[in-house]
Amino acid sequence: MGDEAGFLNASRIKGTHAAIKSGMLVAEAAFEALGAGRSHDALEAYPNAFRASWLHDELHRARNFKPWMSKGLYTGTLMVGIDQLLFRGRAPWTLGHAQADHETLTPKAKAIPIEYPKPDGVLTFDRLSSVFVSNTNHEEDQPVHLLLKDPAVPTTVNLPVYAGPESRYCPAGVYEFVNEAGTARLQINAANCVHCKTCDIKDPTQNIDWVVPEGGGGPNYPDM
């Protein structure tokens, strides 16, 4: 419940504490409602508790970070500095985004391919090694929690128009285009999923629906 809200302090690249705190606030609201016999309560106490918490204050101060950085590295850095150092995150304005994230992908016909160097195993690492470190675990025979609204879209739209972005924006190598008898097919390796929900947010056709996996499987970072 805490993670479903998607709370993230983008300027600090931290969200685990937000998921825990917001989950605690939900639990406290539910506990109070059940104790009062309101088993079908809408948990209206939760948003009020969130607004009164330190988490709301932290996220409110960081609210303009992403909108400013979307304007470019130099402009964004300058304006974030003014927002955070001069106004302490309490600027009298709140910026928004002109369009949704999934609408910003550039078609492959207008993009210049980037040749990335191979991971050196010292400063850069391949995705599967990072998935191993995350200690992610899903029961192999559980229902796939990454659903396609239309199974044909990845190969009829995403692959020819955007060069199959699913295979690149996922940090865990969940999405893989494989050729079978000369025909491309999207393979979903759901057991690798680390629940970042990038696919749900970034998919250009909004064809991917991330749902909660059976049994609460996912990453289990051993040193946290």
Within-domain flag for 141: yes
pLDDT confidence of residue 2? 64
Nearest C-alpha neighbor of 223 from the set 7, 11, 16, 4: 16
Within-domain flag for 67: no
CA distances from 118 to 106, 114, 125, 126, 201 (A): 24, 12, 8, 8, 27
Examine the pLDDT at 164 and tell me if it is beyond 90. yes
% residues pLDDT > 90 (the chain): 58
- What is the pLDDT confidence band of residue 224, given thresholds at 50, 70 and 90? low
Within-domain flag for 207: yes
pLDDT confidence of residue 3? 66
The residue to which tokens 């204050």 are assigned: 57
- If one counts the domains in the chain, the total is 1
Asked which of 5-19, 69-83, 84-98, 168-182 is least confident by mean pLDDT, the reply is 5-19
Examine the pLDDT at 119 and tell me if it is beyond 70. yes
pLDDT confidence of residue 80? 94
Q: Which domain does 135 fall in, by range?
A: 99-224
Within-domain flag for 29: no
**How many Cα atoms within 13 Å fall on the side-chain side of residue 155?**
13
Within-domain flag for 184: yes
- What is the pLDDT confidence band of residue 223, given thresholds at 50, 70 and 90? low
pLDDT confidence of residue 97? 86
For the chain, what is the mean pLDDT? 90
Within-domain flag for 56: no
CA distances from 44 to 32, 47, 48, 56, 161 (A): 11, 6, 7, 16, 44
Examine the pLDDT at 40 and tell me if it is beyond 90. no
Question: CATH code at 115?
Answer: 3.30.70.20
Within-domain flag for 123: yes
CA distances from 92 to 45, 63, 71, 84, 167 (A): 27, 12, 19, 12, 41
Examine the pLDDT at 107 and tell me if it is beyond 90. yes
What stretches of the chain show up as alpha helix (H) in DSSP? 16-35, 45-51, 54-61, 65-69, 73-81, 127-134, 153, 159-162, 166-169, 198-202
Tell me the mean pLDDT in the region 134-140: 84
Within-domain flag for 73: no
